[in-house]
Structure 1
Amino acid sequence: MTDRFLVAGGARLVGEVGVGGAKNSVLKLMAAALLVEGTTTITNAPDILDVPLMADVLRGLGCEVEIAGDVVRITVPAEPKHQADFAAVRQFRASVCVLGPLVARCRRAVVALPGGDAIGSRPLDMHQAGLRLLGAHSEIQHGCVVAEATTLHGANIRLAFPSVGATENILMAAVLADGVTVIDNAAREPEIMDLCSMLASMGAQIAGVGTSTLTVQGVRRLTPTVHRVIGDRIVAATWAICGVATCGDVTVKGVDYRHLGVVLDKLRAAGSEVTTAPDGFRVVQRQRPTAVNFATLPYPGFPTDLQPLAIGLASIANGSTMITENVFEARFRFVEEMMRLGADARTDGHHAVVRGVPRLSSAPVWSSDIRAGAGLVLAGLVADGITEVHDVYHIDRGYPQFVENMQRLGADVRRVSDPD
């Protein structure tokens, strides 16, 4: 069976919605469990497709993984396997984050080049370069990253770009290396800070957390821990932007609003009333949103994951919006689907110009990645008639109980299963 969403336009989103653990954090935390023998427990794990996929990757490495509600327990043997299963790894991008932990624990790793969202080139050059500076030999062989080392030693590593994935892999390898490792131009995302917090609770020594320079004093061994995943800022912002687009009133709970500073500032500029609380925030939009320009940047800039939602908002805003994509070059393929819905949009290189119209028109559209799928549902909420969104398994990979939460806020969104 293959599923699609039917989205009826015209509803104003109103109400309160909770946010679970961050997709962009939990998968890396699960991989970090490989660094220790014994059982690591992760709580507040989101109910998304990628969590059991990562569990399959870990089971293929010899781990026992139990998922019970929002709790994931990972038991790692004294000698985990070093070769990640090809069939499991190719299904999603985050699987590559087992590379660093395997090199640290096993001194050898074979990880198939990962699959995932079709949003542009995401090479592993910086991952490999960092591991080489730590003393590993790394190359691509037959579609796999192969890395091995006799010993790992501290190094000074400067990333050409603050890559989240490269920062994570290098960090997880460095915590068990001999000596001091300094990672300059490191990614600063809250999910990196969450990983550092879990590693510290295992016994890792990391300084500079939250800055662009991480200093790691390697230790001989780590111990199992219990760690709670931070709230998902991207899911939280999705509900907020959908609320603004529909002139709604949405309260989001379970997230640190400080992780969304630039996003909430943009919504204020669009005419929203934004109030914050220790466990979330509220957005109220009383009139048609005002056009606001967006440029995606690494944290603390505007997240590339929210670019499709920004385009959806721009499509019905009052005025013209320029969106600049500085992270993933292929994310603009989403614009073609928006044009099916009547959006007045044009792209040129890494820029898109969107002239807002009062309302979009319904049509069948296809998701190309997690966030594009969410953006198309947003577009359906502000279109006339019924919009069919296909390939919604992408949305399932990143949004727990997506339809149920939409319905809780008053949206008319239904899941339909069809013969494949």
Structure 2
Amino acid sequence: MNNRKKGRYTYMRWIEVRKSRGINGSVSILGSKNSSLPIVTACCLSDETVVLKNVPCISDIQVIYDIGKDIGINVMQKEDSVKIDASGITTADIEPKKSSKYRAAYYFVGALLARQKKVSIGYPGGDNFGSRPIDQHVKGLEALGAKFTFLKDYYTVEAAKLTGADIYFDVVTCGATINVLLAAVLAEGRTTLRNAARDPEVVDLAIFLNKMGAKIKGAGTDTIIIDGVKKLEGTQHSIIPDRLTAGSFLMSVGITSGSVVVNNVIPEHLMPCIEKLEEAGIQIETGDNFVKASSDGNIKGVNVKTGMYPGFPTDLQQPITSLLIGSDSHSIVVDNVYPNRFKHCIELNKMGADIIMREGNVVVPGRKSLKGAWVHASDVRAGIALILAALGAEGTTRITGIEHIERGYENIVEDFRELGVDIEICEDNSISTPSEYAL
């Protein structure tokens, strides 16, 4: 997946995009990456078979399958579902190199702790846009009775017994809410999570666990109550649609003009995005399971501040920055969740965006015409931001680092092509590119 030297040549893969105008069509949204990761991991909590539908076929999910197989989980993938049997788990020692490939590997701690009593795992990896501390995970799990030992390349978590507790998160954190929730379902007694994340992905996990026999109330609010049970059963569940993928497609029409319908979505999950796009001048129509966006390409400058749900998602901060480059006035984009998540702006400036980068926020001047260039995707959402920018750029844009894009999007190139975008994946073992893109 990564660029690598092959003899005296440089082997590379990249996405090539040419300017597109008036895109039209529809796209069906697949299951949520951020919901699938904890739900697949949660299958460790039961000795019975679980059948999941609408799980996206992306590299992050494949890593979790690989880790699961290493510790004794049987994963059977079919066209429209995956069957997971965790009855054969023999160890909770997770290979540090594999777990460091993506951030959400830490969900294995919450999912395995009650069953195996000790979990060994590498430090969080994944997107490269600043530190993602696990201090709230540690706080919550320690309150349940866990003990952490931090070593050079990995850490261990031990608990002879987990006991319910009243836990207040110092900051709203989706990852810690999920991890502690996973551990609490098999803990003895009641656990109360205060200042909990309200994300749809947390709700989806709670619904799934309740189907397995857990007793969880309050998911979707800032107070979640979990009464521990002795065991969980097998079940079937369909993952919710990916609101972040849907939001990116809705933004694309503001860059190219045209009309796009995203199907298989839950419009309520998209409201923070929809409201901001309407403010920017994009026309939105919603139905029971679809959202339609239409635009003549005339976009107004808007100010954006990210926040935890129901605030504007940090994962849509990067693509909306691309949308605002061609707006009629300047915009200010503030990321209150990950203040260092602006590496994509460096790449956008190579295309002529002239974005002014400051501590925790950027100023997008607007009224800029972009030109195609070699650019690099440093993380999942940076990749989609660069694709969106390329839709309106003169000439050809070539995006490297596409392994990051493949971590979160199953058919992104095919989906954009269906909408009329001139886009393709390219590879060559003798390509001549700027030195910073060669390994």
TM-score scaled by length of structure 1: 0.98
User: Is 1:314 aligned to 2:324, yes or no?
Assistant: yes
Deviations for 1:216-237, whole angstroms, at most 9, x for unmatched residues?
Answer: 0000111011110000000000
User: Is 1:105 aligned to 2:115, yes or no?
Assistant: yes
Deviations for 1:299-338, whole angstroms, at most 9, x for unmatched residues?
Answer: 0000000111111011111100000011112211111101
- Once structures 1 and 2 are overlaid, which stretch shifts more, 174-183 or 133-142? 133-142
Alignment of 1:329-348 (within 5 A): 329-348=339-358
Structure 1 residues 84 and 318: alpha-carbon distance in aligned structure 2, compared to 1, 3 A threshold: same
Q: Residue type matched to 1:106 in 2?
A: Q
Counterparts of 1:27 and 1:418, CA distance in 2:
32
Q: Residue type matched to 1:339 in 2?
A: N
CA contact (8 A) 1:203 1:223 kept: yes
Counterparts of 1:255 and 1:78, CA distance in 2:
35
Alignment of 1:203-222 (within 5 A): 203-222=213-232
> Among 276, 296, 303, which residue is 1:266 paired with?
276
CA contact (8 A) 1:118 1:330 kept: no
Superposition misfits of 4+ residues, deviation over 2 angstroms: 77-80
> Among 301, 323, 338, which residue is 1:328 paired with?
338
Shift in Å, 1:79: 4.6
Alignment of 1:66-215 (within 5 A): 66-77=76-87, 79-215=89-225
> Among 61, 66, 74, which residue is 1:64 paired with?
74
Q: Name structure 2 gaps, 5 residues minimum.
A: 1-10, 430-438
CA contact (8 A) 1:121 1:329 kept: no
Deviations for 1:320-378, whole angstroms, at most 9, x for unmatched residues?
Answer: 00000111122111111010010021011011000112421111000000100100011
The aligned counterpart of 1:379 is 389
Counterparts of 1:84 and 1:77, CA distance in 2:
17
The aligned counterpart of 2:421 is 411
Structure 1 residues 80 and 198: alpha-carbon distance in aligned structure 2, compared to 1, 3 A threshold: farther
Counterparts of 1:241 and 1:385, CA distance in 2:
21
SS of aligned partner of 1:383: coil
CA contact (8 A) 1:318 1:356 kept: yes
CA contact (8 A) 2:74 2:88 kept: no
Structure 1 residues 366 and 78: alpha-carbon distance in aligned structure 2, compared to 1, 3 A threshold: closer
User: Is 1:285 aligned to 2:288, yes or no?
Assistant: no
Counterparts of 2:408 and 2:351, CA distance in 1:
23
The aligned counterpart of 1:24 is 34
SS of aligned partner of 2:347: helix
CA contact (8 A) 1:92 1:116 kept: yes
Counterparts of 1:329 and 1:258, CA distance in 2:
26
Q: Residue type matched to 1:39 in 2?
A: T
Counterparts of 1:259 and 1:356, CA distance in 2:
28
Alignment of 1:384-403 (within 5 A): 384-403=394-413
The aligned counterpart of 1:355 is 365
- Once structures 1 and 2 are overlaid, which stretch shifts more, 35-44 or 198-207? 35-44
Shift in Å, 1:78: 5.3
The aligned counterpart of 1:297 is 307
Identity of aligned residues (%): 35
User: Is 1:4 aligned to 2:22, yes or no?
Assistant: no
SS of aligned partner of 2:340: helix
SS of aligned partner of 2:49: strand
SS of aligned partner of 1:400: coil
Counterparts of 2:155 and 2:139, CA distance in 1:
12
Shift in Å, 1:400: 1.3
- Once structures 1 and 2 are overlaid, which stretch shifts more, 81-90 or 247-256? 81-90
Alignment of 1:25-64 (within 5 A): 25-64=35-74
CA contact (8 A) 1:100 1:173 kept: yes
CA contact (8 A) 1:189 1:210 kept: yes
Counterparts of 1:389 and 1:121, CA distance in 2:
25
Shift in Å, 1:248: 1.9
SS of aligned partner of 1:17: strand
CA contact (8 A) 1:112 1:144 kept: yes
Deviations for 1:358-404, whole angstroms, at most 9, x for unmatched residues?
Answer: 42111100000010010001111010000111111111111111110
Counterparts of 2:127 and 2:88, CA distance in 1:
34
Counterparts of 1:70 and 1:316, CA distance in 2:
40
SS of aligned partner of 2:341: helix
TM-score scaled by length of structure 2: 0.94
Counterparts of 2:26 and 2:45, CA distance in 1:
38
Counterparts of 1:70 and 1:96, CA distance in 2:
27
SS of aligned partner of 1:292: coil
Q: Residue type matched to 2:194 in 1?
A: D
Counterparts of 1:275 and 1:398, CA distance in 2:
26
CA contact (8 A) 1:47 1:70 kept: no
Counterparts of 1:350 and 1:80, CA distance in 2:
45
The aligned counterpart of 1:223 is 233
Shift in Å, 1:270: 1.0
Counterparts of 1:199 and 1:243, CA distance in 2:
38
Counterparts of 1:414 and 1:303, CA distance in 2:
28
CA contact (8 A) 2:20 2:420 kept: no
Deviations for 1:283-308, whole angstroms, at most 9, x for unmatched residues?
Answer: 00124111111001000000000111
Q: Residue type matched to 1:37 in 2?
A: D
Q: Residue type matched to 1:172 in 2?
A: L
Shift in Å, 1:139: 2.6
The aligned counterpart of 2:24 is 14
SS of aligned partner of 1:360: coil
Counterparts of 2:358 and 2:368, CA distance in 1:
24
SS of aligned partner of 1:344: coil
Q: How many residues align?
A: 420
